[in-house]
A = this chain, B = another copy of it.
């Protein structure tokens, strides 16, 4: 919603990123990008690896870690840590800036937007003379709505 991109557009971005950095175009890199594109929500390296293996794609963990770095560097994905020692990722194309609500009961992650955060970022940057490139705002708590309860039931899904 808003500024969705097709896999072709995203490939083109990745393509020109690779070219600009003198990195080679390999089938593995594009298959990781495709898989990331298919993710509807947050994912981690292991889940991505298993998913790809399950689809009989030829890939190794090392290559996924390698490619993830390139995708981060080209701003096609974002990295998060939601209070656990596992890096979570999400694609950063096709969605507007948002932050996260994390349920401490079911680990489910919800997204929200609030323009005031950007104001705080700007004024804090000025105050500290800090060149802020990005932020992470996480609210931790317990979801209570019926609609959320549903999610809460299939605990620890991701």
Contacts and interface: CB of A to CB of B under 8 A. Distances in A.
Interface of A: 79, 81, 83-87, 101, 103-104, 110, 112, 114, 116-117, 119-121, 123-125, 127-145, 148
B140 A137 contact: no
**What copy number does this chain have within its complex?**
2
Contact of A143 (B85, B103, B129): B129
Nearest to A134: B140
Nearest to A137: B137
21 contacts: A81-B84, A81-B85, A114-B120, A117-B137, A121-B139, A124-B139, A125-B139, A128-B145, A128-B148, A129-B144, A130-B141, A130-B142, A130-B144, A130-B148, A131-B141, A134-B140, A134-B141, A135-B139, A136-B137, A136-B138, A137-B138
Contacts of A85: 81, 85-87
Nearest to A124: B112
Contacts of A119: 116
Contact of A135 (B110, B140, B142): B140
A133 B142 contact: yes
Nearest to A114: B120
